[in-house]
Chains A and B, each alone.
Chain A
């Protein structure tokens, strides 16, 4: 079942602008992760934020988590054409022995 839902489904920006993607989920979670997928390739892990964290940074990436609203956002600052990809959020349900559940993704296009 799809737990996370990304918004928007597609986003097109100019190089140098910031890109913000949002993720909403339905149940309590242990953590939330963001992944990137270039067209026709496997997914690559970007960042993990735990349920007791509110914000996390990694290079040009900033992730926030609001457990009261069951939502997260991924901000990519100073975007580059090479950031063009699909971005997925994934959640691990609290107390579950199962796997990550992925959202449907945001397709980001960064125009040079």
Chain B
């Protein structure tokens, strides 16, 4: 079945370490997004990419980096510069443009020890 796969589901990191969260989709969608969700709150946009080899910063991009070398993949790196990285991270994609339905992965929960 088509969908979005995020891995790992749970990740623990020591302070000062970079970690990379994987997001793969087989929906043939052009645009992909990374959101951060903190407990009891909504989603905040980190980065988004509308086509391969192109991406834009969202509202809270500081301390994060992304790449979009393939249409199917949009990995997110949480760097040591991110001051408070403990959160739930959600990847999403959309077929075309930005006016339709977003499809989400199951999320990755990052905990910094």
Interface residues of A (CB under 8 A from B): 1-2, 4, 30-31, 33, 35, 40-45, 48, 88, 90, 92, 96-105, 107
A100 touching B42 in the complex, CB below 8 Å, given contacts A41-B107, A42-B90, A43-B90: no
B100 touches A48 (CB 8 A): yes
Taking the nearest CB of chain B, how far is it from the CB of A27, in angstroms?
14
Chain B residues with Cβ under 8 A from A100's Cβ?
A: 98, 102
Chain B residues with Cβ under 8 A from A99's Cβ?
A: 31, 33, 45, 48, 58, 94, 98
Interface residues of B (CB under 8 A from A): 4, 6, 31, 33, 35, 40-45, 48, 50, 58-59, 88, 90, 92, 94, 98-107, 109
Bound CA–CA A4/B104 (angstroms): 19
Taking the nearest CB of chain A, how far is it from the CB of B30, in angstroms?
13
Chain B interface helix/strand/loop/mixed: strand
Additional A-B contact list (17), CB under 8 Å, known A2-B44, A97-B98: A1-B59, A2-B42, A30-B99, A31-B99, A33-B101, A33-B102, A40-B107, A42-B4, A42-B6, A43-B92, A45-B102, A48-B101, A97-B50, A98-B48, A100-B98, A101-B45, A105-B41
Residue of B nearest to A30 (CB): B99
B104 touches A88 (CB 8 A): no
Chain A residues with Cβ under 8 A from B105's Cβ?
A: 42
The 7 closest A-B CB pairs, nearest first, are A42-B104, A104-B42, A102-B43, A45-B101, A102-B42, A43-B104, A42-B106
Chain B residues with Cβ under 8 A from A101's Cβ?
A: 45
A42 touches B107 (CB 8 A): yes
B98 touches A45 (CB 8 A): no
Chain B residues with Cβ under 8 A from A92's Cβ?
A: 98-99
Residue of B nearest to A47 (CB): B101
Bound CA–CA A80/B94 (angstroms): 30
